[in-house]
Structure 1
Amino acid sequence: MSTLKRYKKLENTLVQRLVAAMTRAASASRDFFRRFMKAGRQKLTIMLVPHTEKRILNLQLSFFGLAGILLAIGVILSVSVYATSRFGSTARLLSGKVSDLRSTQADLDAVRDETTTLIKAARNFEAALSSTLSRIGIQPSSSSTGDRDGDLAAFFDVEEAGRGSLREVGEIRKVTRYLEKTVSAVKELGGVVSSQSEVLSEIPNLWPVKGGIGHISMYYGQNENPFYGSWYLHKGLDISTFRMGDPVVATADGKVANIGYDPSYGNNIILEHKHGFFTRYAHLQSVRVQKGQKVQQGQVIGYLGNTGLTTGPHLHYEVHLGTETIDPLRFLNIRSSSALTQ
């Protein structure tokens, strides 16, 4: 029992000391707060004495009032600095946008000028083509040249810009009008090449894969884009052999006008032929000719591949007459090139 009493007594003593300590702390806090409030309420006198000393302006402020004013001034200055910084950043951003707009406007002006030059060149080319057709006994169409601005740019600049349906419909209508005007000339040209063997080798009428192998996996004209699902004008024939490495041959005598690589067409060759014809061979695995080299009909110029934007190994083959693409099937005489000189 004596031990229990000692623990109880010790417990009471600790409680009393704890209460006394808390009481002293509370009293000290109250004293500090009273002294702080008293000091804060003390008045400060600010005297503004003009040089004339006629009227002296006295301002009385407490420490709290002065602290509030200083705090307000600090907040105002901070907000001003922040607003100035944001305004400067916005001004720089707007200045950059204005510079970009001016650069874009300059680019558009340059494109417009180049387009005007291209249209003039296309019309001159149309005139030269008409003269060529006349020399081989075909009378050119007498239709107006007002809408003959064609797709010559799309032929040499293979980067396809814009895949909207309105643009594709416009291209289809333009090509349709041109083909309607030239169908009679094409028919007559077909009659000429059927009777003249020399001209025959200058017209792209040979199957572009050596040995006449392969099949057409996509025809010329309106097709559904396998990557985007939209309707577009397919400007050539896709010929598939289900493998890579098959020899690709020139479909007519001519000269290598261009060799290059494009994200869409991959490795591709453009041949220039007589009578205003051009042919393109795209998605090649490799190229066997050089730019400027003369080639003969049936000569191997490259090998079928899968480069560029494709769904599998195939040859994309285009025929251009003047400034417009035409259906290669109008001229293709599907026959083996094995009998021709390689």
Structure 2
Amino acid sequence: MHQAGQAGNYPHGVHPALVPGVSVDDQRYDYRTDRVVVVVVAVTILAFLAWGLLDTEGLAAASETALVWVTTYFGWFCSVLAAVVLFFMLWIGFGRYGRIPLGLDGEKPEYTTFSWVAMLFAAGMGVGLLFFGPYEPMQYYLEPAPGTVDPQTREAMHRALVQTVFHWGPQAWAMYALVGATVAYGAYRRGRTVLMSSIFESLIGRDGVRGARGRIIDIFAIIATLFGTAAALGIGALQIGRGVQIAGGLGEINTPMLLGIVAVLTAVFITSAVSGVARGIRYLSNINMVFAVIVAIFVFLVGPTLFLVNFIPSVIAQYLSETLTLIAYSASYGE
């Protein structure tokens, strides 16, 4: 009975020891729109938009208050969570579980390594890396973290990039890897639906996934994704607008122009998403990666090449030597 109960958790009643991997594509799922999830998400987003349009200052003040409250009372939790996820994913990746393919046994990769890496960067970090990549090192160079180094010094220069790598390096990618691996394992190894709620099936059961608890998980996942996408679009619009302003010699970028940029970006985003991963997202990611490599080579050759040759290895070594110190750095050192 115990073995039968375990086997029931696998598609088609196959015993766990005999499962070579079951893809979600092989399941007979009837994909229907969950009206409860759609209605709750739609009402929440429309209410937030109405708040922003009718009381912009109030929304800004509330957002600032929420940000300060979260960083003050839960900053330690975010730091601990990031460290735990990093070490957990290293244990998963380099341990025996790292040999489990996220697909069927013997199945060949659907995309080339170049396209895979390109999509990781384009869809994972995207405009955030282009915006904060230059911004954070300069900000930390001018205003280092309290109690570390003096501003605008060689030490501050190294520390600034180390701090940036800490934010955008292995710890950030560990977060992506945790979510991506769980969804991929559930969908392409266990045959579950590609929903955030499905990765909790082992905890809350299949009935829980299909019930209220699963809907709550999916609602939060959709809202978080929408807000994250909106933030990326906003940052991208500001950056593109500023670039157009400098390159075109225009005056101040007004709201209608920013809205136009957001509309164009949204149209491209929707088109690439609707066309699927194999076409739009992959093509755009490959083009993006090619341009990124060209820009990197240009900066390396035209810029201070000798300085970069010395600087980059030093930053990597300093980051590795100070990882635990950066993880331990918290509000206990000061505001």
Higher relative contact order (CA 8 A, sep 6+): 2
Q: TM-score, normalised by structure 2?
A: 0.20
Q: TM-score, normalised by structure 1?
A: 0.20
Would you tell me which structure has more strand in proportion to its own residues? 1
Would you tell me which structure has more helix in proportion to its own residues? 2
